[in-house]
Homo-oligomer: A and B are copies of this chain.
Amino acid sequence: MAVLGMDLGGTKLAYAVFTEDGTLIRKNTLSLDKRKGTEVGRLISTNISDIISSSSGEGFKIGSIGISVPGISHAGTGKVWAPNIPGWEDYPLLEEAVSVSGGIPVVIESDRACYIMGEVWQGNAKNCKDAIFLSVGTGIGAGILVNGEILRGSHDVAGSIGWMALNRPFIDDYIACGCFEYYASGAGIASNAKRMIKQGRGYNGVLKNILSENITSYEVFSAYDNGDPVASAVISQCIEFWAMAVANLISLFNPQKIIMGGGVFGPAVSLIPRIREEASRWAQPVSINQVSIEQSALAGDAGVIGAAYMALKKIII
């Protein structure tokens, strides 16, 4: 029996078929080409149909399907909220997928849940029952595994760690995205650097020569690697916030592993030792010694692998 994992992002749809033991059978990535609303749903359902109908000719049989979505999957209704897909405020993705799956079970999960499940199946959290994927990209979210199960909360919104309160007093800048995300997301890194360049007199580093709208976290990391003072100040502040958040996860969840992933980790993986050092000052002192803080082993594939593993769990348990 094989499983199909699909990972919907804001701009593309990746999918992969695996055997039960995790061997990759086939994979592909498709651009969304600015599709929105039902067009995105149709792209997913068409591919499900095509993969199922081509499967027997290719010598495999799909036993279950997992779909990772960039937002919230409501387990009770099968509907999805995905802020980056226009028209997906409450999209009936499960109904659409099941309508073409011919009785093959379908499970839909948030991307952050799939990330940690991917690491459990094929990455750095193998054999873990209590582990957390801290995803730092444009935004920040956490996929949290508690005793082998995804933490969903009462309405499937758990893991919204971008909203973590870490820096008082409250300021209006936190309203749109949350305090932690404001300072320490990819978007936050870029905007903090821009703000600092604007405010700082006498700064003449490399970031000054880049058009403001072109400064992303990648330019900041590149400048940081070259000793730029603004980049250095921004990243040092990020390390403090990442460490406080990691410490809070350690004190609350007493996990075996915290996996740092997303686009920012990425360039920030070399900072993990400094994050651990700073987190050690804040965290519950027993728990900090029971946790390993590691980078993602799967990078951009965590979502599709995790979606496939959620599918597999649906049929093997």
Binding site for B on A (CB under 8 A): 129-130, 142, 144, 146-147, 149, 151-170, 174-175, 178-179, 240, 243-245, 247-248, 251-256, 278, 281-284, 286-287, 290-291
Contact = CB atoms under 8 A, between A and B. Distances in A.
Nearest to A281: B170
B251 A282 contact: no
A119 to B, nearest CB: 15
A301 to B, nearest CB: 26
A166 B164 CA distance: 9
Given A142-B252, A154-B291, 6 more contacts: A130-B154, A154-B256, A157-B254, A160-B252, A162-B251, A178-B251
A130 B146 contact: no
Most chain B CB inside 10 Å of its own CB: which residue of A142, A146, A240: A146
B286 A168 contact: no
B164 A252 contact: yes
A251 B160 contact: yes
Contacts of A291: 154
A51 to B, nearest CB: 32
10 contacts: A129-B154, A146-B151, A157-B254, A158-B252, A158-B254, A160-B254, A160-B284, A165-B282, A170-B282, A248-B248
Given A147-B149, A157-B290, A165-B244, A252 B254 contact: no
Contacts of A157: 254, 284, 286-287, 290
A109 to B, nearest CB: 15
Contact of A155 (B147, B149, B166, B254): B254
Most chain B CB inside 10 Å of its own CB: which residue of A129, A152, A163: A163
A168 B252 contact: no
A69 to B, nearest CB: 16
A161 B290 contact: no
